[in-house]
Amino acid sequence: MTGRGRLTAAALGGVLVLTGCTSFAERVADVADTPAATPTEAPTGAAACPDERAAPDPDRPQVELSFDLSEDRRTVTGTETVVFTPDLDVDELVFRLVPNAPGSAEAGSSLVVDDVTGDDVAAGSYESLGAAGPGGAYVVELSDELAAGDATEVTLAFTLTLGEGGFDRVGTDDEVSWWASGAPLLAWEPGIGWSRAPFVDLLGETASSPVADTRITVEAPAELTVLMTGDQAEPTGAGDGRRRWTSREPLARDVSIAVGSFTTASAEVDGVRITAGVLAGDRQDPQEVADATAQDVERLAERFGPFPYATLTVPVLPDYGGGIEYPSSILLASAAPVVLLHEVAHMWFYGMVGDDQYRDPWLDEAFASYAESVEGALSPAHVEQALAEEAPVGGTMADFPTDAAYVETVYGKGAAALAEARDAAGAEAFDTAVRCYVDATAWTTATPADLALALADLPAATRVLVEAGALDEDDLPD
């Protein structure tokens, strides 16, 4: 997804004719890496291309999350402390309450803010944004305007109820409980301001959040294992038959936590430590999952540059038919190799190169789908068929009437447009330009204009993306 990584037809109720997605890898696997057309445009080192990957903002938010999972594994009580230094003047803080999304609420999930404290806090209230339960956002009103560059510290106490397990960010099942986007999410877009995007009924994300230096503590029944975002320390005893797990990820837009009867295995590639966990009732071998993840990291790094994080954890959930990406962690709910590959690609596109998942869902979903082609190029017939779709790739989450339409256009046509653009510009020139885009926008919230700038010397590629409705004329540099 633009949060929800990759869907299989099963996850969409089997209604889908996925020209671009589910069967995409199977369909193209027999077409070996087709050599791209002869490069017609050489990379020229445009001004958009930095010498090295951009460093994260040193004034990015600092977030401390503490979660306590109940004995029955259905309720999480938590606190969140945020030190926030805005780059624009503000008089409020807006937190998105993702578990109150309509679909999650139907399964019984909810996120309620119980208390808010802080020296600058005047009051807190909910806003609906089309979500269920108490609402889709919690707005903290400040007692005075906070000037750009000044910091404030706010602490929220909250209760998260985990609904029935399914293909969602939060849930509980026989052997596992998980919550991702499970805490109030700071909805800030640097340079733009607060995101108040409406919730939609589609199976995809609508959030926008900045990278934050994030510390996580999870307390859970001692017999369970925690796999989460960040570099995890060994657990310690917390008394009463419970253990305490901690991790830190200095560059997390959001976090994912899975707590279950996991058997784990690890692998290492390019200095990245990978940990996979498989539930007791799952026949998969965790070592095979870890090794497959390592292989995906390696081949994606060849195309897009170094893997963004020091660690990657992959808890394997029951097969709900897809995967959901989070910074340095993946909720993997499918055994299909292409789902894992897609979610690993999201570490570059969403994790590092962020986007407003409501406004520009294609910036992460089309790229993660296109990235599946490191395993085998898309067939020309497939590309042609996908590009014949009418709907523009660059729609917002409100522009798609159904999950099928959303997936077909954003994932399927979006990936085909990027593949076609690569073909038009020449593979080497296009890959170089995409790396420039990745390096220039690392750890920010990217926009289509950022991509257009990186492609400025490749008019043939730009033309393809404009024709597909991914870029529009306003995105192009003067």
Residues of this chain that bind Zn ion (CB under 5 A)? 5-6, 365, 368
Cα angle 353-56-170, degrees, rounded to a multiple of 5: 55
Which C-beta is closer to Zn ion: that of 353 or that of 368?
368
**How near is the Cβ of 118 to Zn ion at its closest, in Å?**
35
- Shortest gap between Cβ of 169 and Zn ion (angstroms)? 13
> Who contacts 390 (Cβ-Cβ below 8 Å, separation ≥6)?
none
Which residue is nearest to Zn ion, using beta carbons?
5
Q: Which is nearer to Zn ion, 219 or 355 (CB)?
A: 355
Tokens matching residue 310: 């020091």
Q: Is-contact 410 400, C-beta < 8 A? A: yes
Min separation Cβ 245 and Zn ion, Å: 27
Nearest distance from C-beta of residue 235 to Zn ion, angstroms: 31
Of 206, 227, 70, 240, residue with least CA distance to 137? 206
- Considering the complex, state which of residue 279 and residue 344 has its C-beta at the smaller distance from Zn ion: 344
Q: How far is the CB of 3 from Zn ion (least distance, A)?
A: 8
Nearer to Zn ion, 5 or 43 (CB): 5
Closer residue to Zn ion (CB): 9 or 49? 9
Of 245 and 326, which has the nearer Cβ to Zn ion? 326
Report the distance separating Cα 112 and Cα 78, nearest Å: 10
| Least CB distance to Zn ion at residue 426 (A) | 27
> Which bin fits 221, alpha (ψ -120 to 50), beta or left (φ > 0)?
beta
Nearer to Zn ion, 349 or 430 (CB): 349
- When the beta carbons of 60 and 169 are compared against Zn ion, the nearer one is 169
Write down the least CB distance from residue 364 to Zn ion, Å. Answer: 7
Least spacing, CB of residue 119 vs Zn ion, in Å: 40
Q: Which is nearer to Zn ion, 339 or 451 (CB)?
A: 339
Q: How far is the CB of 437 from Zn ion (least distance, A)?
A: 18
Nearer to Zn ion, 80 or 372 (CB): 372
Six-digit token string for 131: 């979500």
Smallest separation, CB 1 to Zn ion (Å):
6
- Nearer to Zn ion among residue 245 and residue 307 (C-beta): 307
Residues near 70 by Cβ (< 8 Å), separated by ≥ 6?
76, 77
Cα–Cα distance for residue pair 440/52, rounded to 1 Å = 8
Q: Give dist(CA 440, CA 433) in Å, integer.
A: 10
Nearest-CA neighbor of 444 among 364, 310, 352?
A: 352
Please answer whether residues 274 and 267 qualify as being in contact, where contact means their C-beta atoms are separated by less than 8 angstroms: yes
Q: Between residues 259 and 312, which has the closer beta carbon with respect to Zn ion?
A: 312
Q: CB of residue 356 vs Zn ion: minimum separation in angstroms? A: 15
Distance CA 154, CA 140 (A): 9
Contact between residue 59 and residue 191 where contact means Cβ atoms under 8 Å apart: no
By CB atoms closer than 10 A (0-12, 13-18, 19+), residue 130 is: middle
Q: Considering the complex, what minimum distance in angstroms separates the CB of residue 170 from Zn ion? A: 18
Q: How many CA atoms lie within 13 A of 309 on its CB side?
A: 35
